[in-house]
């Protein structure tokens, strides 16, 4: 709930051009926030809030005043441990804002098939969907687009069994 308020207010303060850059900056911070040393630094009583903001701005490689103010609010309210959740919430909101989504295909398929699946999903959801291939030695494929709650799994065994059942029913 708190994360939603922060992200909603932050996005409302940004112009259309600033949204993508601010998201990328938060993504860089969230990536580093996985390290326990990061939390020790941003929670350190030895550093002032301005020094912490400078460290975060250098990590993010972004010094937009609105972004720096957002960092100040997070630090003043002692919400440093929420960077990962803020990133996740921003990811969802920015994806919906730009109507662009990312997903994963697990299996062993060609690049052409991957592009075809992307095109079909993009057409079905009237959005731009970019898929990455996670090559796995499984009997079929699985497609995941988390934000859209899409999960599709096709197994060669299931297709063969369905085909056999349909042939038996026809006889």
- Tally the residues of the chain: 171
- Give the up-direction half-sphere exposure of residue 7: CA atoms within 13 A in the CB hemisphere: 20
- C-alpha closest to that of 105 among 66, 140, 149: 140
pLDDT of 163: 67
Q: How far apart are CA 79 and CA 68, in angstroms?
A: 15
- C-alpha closest to that of 60 among 83, 37, 28: 28
Do 2-96 and 100-170 agree at the fold level?
A: no
Query: Along the chain (171 residues), what's the average pLDDT of each consecutive run of 10 residues?
Result: 88 89 93 87 90 92 92 91 90 90 87 88 90 83 84 71 72 68
3-state SS class at 30: helix
pLDDT of 156: 65
Which residue bears the tokens 């996005």? 11
- C-alpha closest to that of 58 among 35, 81, 32, 95: 32
Q: How far apart are CA 163 and CA 17, in angstroms?
A: 51
pLDDT of 154: 75
100-170: CATH architecture: 3-Layer(aba) Sandwich (3.40)
CATH code that applies to domain 2-96: 1.10.520.20
Residue spans of the domains in the chain: they are 2-96, 100-170
pLDDT of 2: 85
Residue 133 burial (CB < 10 Å; 0-12/13-18/19+)? middle
Please give the torsion angle defined by the CA atoms of residues 37, 66, 148 and 98, in that order, rounded to the nearest 10 degrees: -140
Q: Which residues contact 70 (CB under 8 A, 6 or more apart)?
A: 6, 10, 13, 22
- Parallel, antiparallel or unpaired: strands 100-107 and 140-145: antiparallel
């Amino acid at each position: 709930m708190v994360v939603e308020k922060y992200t909603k207010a932050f996005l409302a303060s940004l112009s259309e051009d600033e949204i993508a850059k601010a998201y990328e900056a938060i993504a860089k911070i969230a990536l580093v926030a996985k390290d326990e040393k990061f939390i020790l630094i941003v929670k350190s009583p030895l550093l002032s809030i301005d020094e912490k903001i400078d460290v975060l701005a250098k990590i993010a490689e972004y010094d937009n005043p609105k972004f720096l103010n957002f960092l100040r609010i997070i630090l003043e309210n002692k919400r440093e441990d929420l960077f990962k959740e803020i990133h996740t919430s921003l990811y969802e909101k920015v994806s919906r804002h730009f109507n662009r989504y990312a997903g994963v295909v697990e299996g062993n398929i060609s690049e052409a098939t991957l592009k075809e699946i992307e095109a079909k999903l993009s057409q079905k959801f009237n959005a731009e969907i970019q898929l990455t291939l996670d090559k796995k030695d499984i009997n079929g494929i699985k497609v995941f687009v988390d934000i859209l709650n899409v999960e599709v799994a096709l197994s060669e065994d299931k297709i063969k069994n369905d085909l056999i059942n349909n042939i038996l029913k026809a006889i």
